[in-house]
């Protein structure tokens, strides 16, 4: 039920602190400070990870790649399922295939899972529907606990996927001996802070709603960021296009000058995802390049970043947070932005045209 919310999507955006909390507590123990993979998943024996998914679930996978590689030093390949199936890459022993799917029924992702099994790879499925085909067929079930997601545009399932995969990256880092017990406890504690930080990010509703009338007039919107934020830029653009029907693209900030900057003009809003992390200054200089060409910029950052932001940007100030939780925190403003722009346009937010909740045909 929607309760006091106008749409399921709005409710599901607000469900995220609980959804992430439930999901994280399946993988993280606040008492021991340990991250644990389910029985049967021994990361010390995993030499490579192949992630396969579609749409928003693919972007959750892209985010997790940064963590698996930087924390656990496990190389990660990632493909959209419809390409992976037909690319049929050479497989190597020691590869763990992780499929990511809210429904657990997406045809291409399921076919990829079956193909990996046929190749003799061990498989794990990050799924929200625990009785789904993928949940049954994968060797290892990695549940998200978002609860039923009704809105066609994925929100709480996405952040729950990111939460589960982030916790698993910590478990993998520990199993691989890349972090000691103190570091594992520190990362566990940081991840367990996510629900509170997501709640704090939900308080950005009013400033974001205030941006909707102007953004709703745009024909094109660009999103950019660096590192994990480049993956979140793709998710932000997908969210906006699928429910508001505005053309949007996400880019790694450094790619702008290799083409997309040609699109910038006064009528093309640019959303910059810029937490004050190690890459912040580089994102700022990319933002300055956009401003120099007259592009209106919405700069989503934290308090520290706001102090160092280029003059003339519209600031959205998110809660300050550690890198490991930033994708979860910054997901909230981009979801709300898409939501309020769609509402402003009078679009059918929960049932966007041409889309189905679960894509069970190729
Ligand atoms: C976008 C969205 C889709 C799904 C994709 C995969 O908001 O919901 O892109 O993420 O169709 O669906 P699942 O996760 O069920 O495999």
Q: Rounded mean pLDDT of 28-34?
A: 97
Q: Give the distance (Å) from ligand 1 centre to CA of residue 57.
A: 6
Query: Which pairing describes strands 28-29 and 34-35: parallel, antiparallel, or unpaired?
Result: antiparallel
The pLDDT of residue 361? 78
Instruction: Say what the alpha-carbon torsion angle 134, 136, 138, 141 is, to the nearest 10 degrees.
Output: 90
Task: List, for residues 278-314, the tens digit of each pLDDT value.
Answer: 999 999 999 999 999 998 999 999 999 999 999 999 9
> Is residue 258 over pLDDT 90?
yes
> What pLDDT is recorded for position 359?
80
| Residue 124 confidence (pLDDT) above 80 | yes
The closest-lying atom of ligand 1 relative to the alpha carbon of residue 102 is: 14
Does the pTM of the predicted model rise above 0.90? yes
Predicted confidence (pLDDT) at residue 265 exceeds the cutoff of 90: yes
For 152-199, the pLDDT digits (tens) are: 899 999 999 999 999 999 999 999 999 999 999 999 999 999 999 999
78 to 49, 50, 143, 173, 262: CA distances (angstroms): 8, 6, 20, 19, 29
Assess whether pLDDT exceeds 80 at residue 126. Answer: yes
For ligand 1, mutation pick of 54, 135, 162, 354 (most atoms within 8 Å of CB): 54
359 C-alpha to ligand 1 centroid (Å): 8
Query: Is residue 230 exposed (0-12), middle (13-18) or buried (19+ Cβ within 10 Å)?
Result: buried
| pLDDT reported for residue 101 | 98
- Per-residue pLDDT reduced to its tens digit, 39-93: 999 999 999 999 999 999 999 999 999 999 999 999 999 999 999 989 889 999 9
Q: Is 37 in the pocket of ligand 1 (CB under 6 A)?
A: no
109 lines ligand 1 (CB under 6 A): yes
Q: What percent of the chain stands above pLDDT 90?
A: 92
Ligand 1 centroid from CA 301, angstroms:
27
54 lines ligand 1 (CB under 6 A): yes
> What percent of the chain is modeled with pLDDT above 70?
100
CB 276 within 8 A of CB 302: yes
What is the ipTM for the molecules in this complex?
0.99
Burial 299-332 (b: 16+ CB within 10 A, else e): bbbbeebbeebbeebbbbbbbbbbbbbbbbbbbb
Question: Pocket of ligand 1, candidates 13, 55, 79: which has the most ligand atoms within 8 Å of its Cβ, to mutate?
Answer: 55
User: Minimal CA–CA distance to 288: which of 319, 265, 309?
Assistant: 309
Phi-psi region of 346 (alpha: psi -120 to 50; beta: other; left: phi over 0): left
| Atom number in ligand 1 closest to CA 358 | 15
Distance between Cα 71 and ligand 1 center (Å): 27
Over residues 329-343, the mean pLDDT reads 97
What is the pLDDT, as a whole number, of residue 246?
97
Return the residue whose CA atom lies nearest to atom 3 of ligand 1.
55
Q: Is 357 a catalytic residue?
A: yes
Radius of gyration of the chain from its Cα atoms, rounded to whole angstroms: 20
User: What mean pLDDT is reported for the chain?
Assistant: 96
Would you state the pLDDT for residue 144?
98
pLDDT range class, residue 347, cuts 50, 70, 90: confident
What lies within 8 Å, CB to CB, of 172 at 6+ separation is 37, 43, 46, 68, 71, 72, 74
pLDDT-derived band at 138 (thresholds 50, 70, 90) equals very high
Q: What is the mean pLDDT of residues 212-217?
A: 97
Give yes or no for a contact between 141 and 125, defined as CB atoms under 8 angstroms apart: yes
Between the CA of 289 and the centroid of ligand 1 the distance, in Å, is: 33
Residue 362 has pLDDT above 80, yes or no: no
Q: What is the mean pLDDT of residues 246-266?
A: 94
User: pLDDT at residue 352 above 90?
Assistant: no
């Amino acid at each position: 039920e929607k309760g006091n919310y106008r749409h399921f999507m709005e409710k599901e955006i607000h469900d995220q602190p609980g959804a992430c909390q439930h999901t994280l507590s399946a993988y993280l123990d606040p008492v021991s400070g340990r991250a644990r993979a389910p029985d049967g998943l021994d990361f010390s024996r995993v030499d490579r990870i192949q992630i396969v998914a579609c749409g928003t679930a693919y972007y959750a996978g892209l985010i997790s790649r940064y963590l698996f590689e930087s924390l656990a030093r496990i190389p990660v390949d990632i493909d959209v399922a419809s390409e992976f199936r037909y690319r049929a890459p050479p497989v190597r022993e020691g590869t763990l295939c992780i499929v990511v799917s809210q429904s657990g029924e997406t045809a291409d992702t399921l076919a990829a899972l079956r193909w990996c099994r046929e190749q003799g790879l061990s498989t794990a499925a990050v799924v929200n529907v625990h009785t789904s085909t993928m949940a049954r067929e994968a060797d290892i079930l990695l549940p998200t606990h978002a609860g039923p997601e009704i809105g066609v545009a994925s929100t709480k399932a996405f952040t729950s996927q990111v939460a589960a995969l982030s916790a698993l990256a910590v478990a993998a880092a520990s199993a691989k001996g890349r972090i000691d017990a103190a570091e594992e406890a520190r990362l566990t504690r940081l991840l367990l802070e996510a629900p509170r930080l997501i709640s704090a990010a939900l308080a950005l509703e009013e400033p974001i709603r205030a941006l909707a009338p102007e953004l709703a007039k745009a024909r094109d919107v660009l999103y950019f960021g660096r590192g994990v934020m480049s993956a979140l830029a793709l998710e932000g653009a997908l969210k906006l296009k699928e429910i508001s029907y505005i053309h949007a693209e996400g880019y790694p900030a450094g790619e702008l000058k290799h083409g997309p900057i040609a699109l910038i003009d006064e009528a093309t809003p640019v959303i910059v995802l810029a937490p004050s992390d190690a890459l912040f200054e580089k994102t700022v200089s990319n933002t300055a390049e956009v401003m120099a060409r007259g592009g209106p910029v919405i700069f989503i950052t934290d308090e520290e970043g706001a102090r160092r932001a280029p003059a003339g940007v519209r600031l959205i100030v998110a809660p300050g947070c550690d890198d490991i939780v930033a994708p979860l925190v910054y997901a909230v403003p981009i979801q709300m932005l898409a939501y309020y722009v769609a509402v402003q346009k009078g679009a059918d937010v929960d049932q966007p045209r041409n889309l189905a909740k679960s894509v069970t045909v190729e």
